[in-house]
A = this chain, B = another copy of it.
């Protein structure tokens, strides 16, 4: 398993030099978070990830979770690591101080999440799911429920889950069958089977709080008849401590391609006592509140794994001697040159790097807008930020997990055959990264969300929250010859994105299949354009310092590589989109 060092230098660069972190920490409620404080938090998180979580990543993959008689045992060291994680207060860093949280900005939380994912994604699933449950409960729970459950979710004594999927329904939650029958005391009896429940059962916390989608007896058909319930593993006694076991049990765990140390459970609810969260039949709303936060976090999973893979690949490319540079030996005193001299190895490393640093900037841009949407004193600014979050969320989720999978595969390829054996840890990143393209809404569903919901919403208002700053930026910088090598390609990509948008908007209105057939290509085109916009800014603010500081020189070099070698993909995407849905939809169903 490659060593992992948190890329703190680049994280601080993105936060303060690219995204004007001070504008976030000056928002009401964030006054305590000076740059010093945030650097200290990130430094401590780095230490925990490097020293506690990363060392049990590969052993956790080899060992996996064990299931016996309804009990799930996490791999060796996970309980110990979780205790350290909880004792350090990491379960609550992004939570409401009213319930014991530290209330850190989403921007900072996002960087911490990236480190956790780099170090040990399987581990990160446990507090990650708790946070999802926290978000939904915090937004929609009654005061009584919040007082009983939030403090323990925030301090990590208890953990949480989201129970959505059933055997017959994944994406299409309208098909769900789990039933909720009212009891006399205002609670409900929940009965049904949920599958693919991450952290559904484990040995890390004294209680597990399930948020469960189910149907009330009078529920309308489809997604409009879905309600959200809180179902604790152990019912809570009046003194707040765990009491009798509730009617929910883990039936089995899945054997998966990756994230093997994260338990993925079949959960059977048999007249379990549950408590309604929010209004009856409004479960989807609460679910989406949680999902939107989680989708950003899942995008960051792709980024975190890509970073870990990159670090491994670079170390190997420097150390492994094989062949000679095509332009003559670079290390004639050694038996061969290191891999890093070879252009095709450099292509792979630079591709990883350009995707990683671009994705990090994209994630923090999205997170900053989450902070603005929540904290900005001006309602107009809050609304603007919300629009941007709405449109960028599916892009962050799908693009960053797709790029994360590509990047982890490139890292593995740098290792050659040594990347395919488990010992070196590079193939685990690939297996772990693969799930992020699927869960929390498969990437095709994200693409449909972008073209089908976000694009048409409010006559394109969400879209404009992205298009306007990009277009303003191009207009402002276009005349500067020093920036031409960055602004030129950005403008080209942006024009393609606008053309694709017009095409889809016009065609898709009358024939929704046209939007559906274009969706995945469109999301990638959108995402690459967003990265180009961020890379143009990173190049611009790095150029003046590039001569004296290798950090900024590398930024400029990576920006050039992105513009010249990766961004040209956008041409093919526009062309594919512009061909319309005909070839996709005309194919006879029986002929597949």
A contact set with B: CB distance below 8 Å: 165, 168-172, 174-175, 196, 254-258, 264, 314, 317-318, 321-323, 325-327, 335-336, 340-350, 353, 405, 409, 412-413, 416-423, 427, 430-431, 434-435, 437-439, 442-444, 447-448, 452, 511-513, 515-517, 519-521, 550, 553-554, 557-558, 560-561, 564-566, 568-573, 575-576, 579, 581-592
**Hey, which chain B residues are within 8 Å of A256, CB to CB?**
420-422, 427
**Hey, which chain B residues are within 8 Å of A416, CB to CB?**
170-171, 438, 442
Name A255's closest neighbour in chain B (CB-CB): B422
**Hey, which chain B residues are within 8 Å of A413, CB to CB?**
437-438, 442-444
How far does the alpha carbon of A416 sit from the alpha carbon of B519 in the complex, in Å?
Answer: 17
Whether B590 contacts A550 by the Cβ 8 Å rule is yes
12 pairs, A vs B, C-beta closer than 8 Å: A171-B322, A257-B427, A264-B421, A317-B592, A344-B520, A346-B584, A347-B584, A348-B444, A405-B409, A416-B442, A417-B438, A568-B575
How far does the alpha carbon of A401 sit from the alpha carbon of B248 in the complex, in Å?
Answer: 46
How far does the alpha carbon of A49 sit from the alpha carbon of B31 in the complex, in Å?
Answer: 68
Most chain B CB within 10 A, of A435, A442, A566, is at A442
Known: A512-B327, A516-B344. A560 touches B588 (CB 8 A): no
Name A554's closest neighbour in chain B (CB-CB): B591
**Hey, which chain B residues are within 8 Å of A515, CB to CB?**
326
Name A428's closest neighbour in chain B (CB-CB): B257
How far does the alpha carbon of A336 sit from the alpha carbon of B423 in the complex, in Å?
Answer: 45
Q: Shortest CB–CB separation between residue A518 and chain B, in angstroms?
A: 8
Whether B571 contacts A519 by the Cβ 8 Å rule is no
**Hey, which chain B residues are within 8 Å of A170, CB to CB?**
322, 416-418
Known: A172-B336, A255-B422, A335-B175. A592 touches B431 (CB 8 A): no
**Hey, which chain B residues are within 8 Å of A346, CB to CB?**
517, 584-585, 587
Contact of A520 among B169, B347, B438 (CB under 8 A): B347
Known: A170-B322, A568-B571. 12 other contacts (CB 8 A): A171-B322, A255-B423, A326-B516, A346-B585, A346-B587, A413-B438, A413-B442, A413-B444, A417-B438, A554-B587, A561-B587, A564-B576
**Hey, which chain B residues are within 8 Å of A584, CB to CB?**
343, 346-347, 350, 561, 565
How far does the alpha carbon of A196 sit from the alpha carbon of B419 in the complex, in Å?
Answer: 12
How far does the alpha carbon of A443 sit from the alpha carbon of B419 in the complex, in Å?
Answer: 14
Q: Shortest CB–CB separation between residue A212 and chain B, in angstroms?
A: 18
How far does the alpha carbon of A448 sit from the alpha carbon of B323 in the complex, in Å?
Answer: 12
Q: Shortest CB–CB separation between residue A331 and chain B, in angstroms?
A: 10
Whether A516 contacts B171 by the Cβ 8 Å rule is no
Q: Shortest CB–CB separation between residue A417 and chain B, in angstroms?
A: 5
How far does the alpha carbon of A258 sit from the alpha carbon of B517 in the complex, in Å?
Answer: 33
Q: Shortest CB–CB separation between residue A287 and chain B, in angstroms?
A: 16
Whether B326 contacts A512 by the Cβ 8 Å rule is yes
Whether A420 contacts B435 by the Cβ 8 Å rule is yes
Whether B568 contacts A420 by the Cβ 8 Å rule is no
Contact of A344 among B444, B511, B554 (CB under 8 A): B444
**Hey, which chain B residues are within 8 Å of A419, CB to CB?**
438
**Hey, which chain B residues are within 8 Å of A169, CB to CB?**
322
How far does the alpha carbon of A277 sit from the alpha carbon of B545 in the complex, in Å?
Answer: 61
How far does the alpha carbon of A579 sit from the alpha carbon of B342 in the complex, in Å?
Answer: 18
How far does the alpha carbon of A513 sit from the alpha carbon of B337 in the complex, in Å?
Answer: 14
**Hey, which chain B residues are within 8 Å of A172, CB to CB?**
321-323, 336
How far does the alpha carbon of A171 sit from the alpha carbon of B588 in the complex, in Å?
Answer: 46
**Hey, which chain B residues are within 8 Å of A175, CB to CB?**
321-322, 335-336
Whether B344 contacts A447 by the Cβ 8 Å rule is yes
How far does the alpha carbon of A327 sit from the alpha carbon of B512 in the complex, in Å?
Answer: 6
Name A439's closest neighbour in chain B (CB-CB): B417
Contact of A583 among B317, B560, B586 (CB under 8 A): B560
Whether B513 contacts A444 by the Cβ 8 Å rule is no
Q: Shortest CB–CB separation between residue A195 and chain B, in angstroms?
A: 8
Name A585's closest neighbour in chain B (CB-CB): B343
Known: A343-B584, A420-B256. A591 touches B519 (CB 8 A): no
Whether B417 contacts A165 by the Cβ 8 Å rule is yes
**Hey, which chain B residues are within 8 Å of A511, CB to CB?**
327
Known: A317-B592, A350-B587. A171 touches B344 (CB 8 A): no
Known: A430-B257, A517-B347, A520-B344. A576 touches B568 (CB 8 A): yes
Q: Shortest CB–CB separation between residue A230 and chain B, in angstroms?
A: 24
Whether A570 contacts B572 by the Cβ 8 Å rule is yes
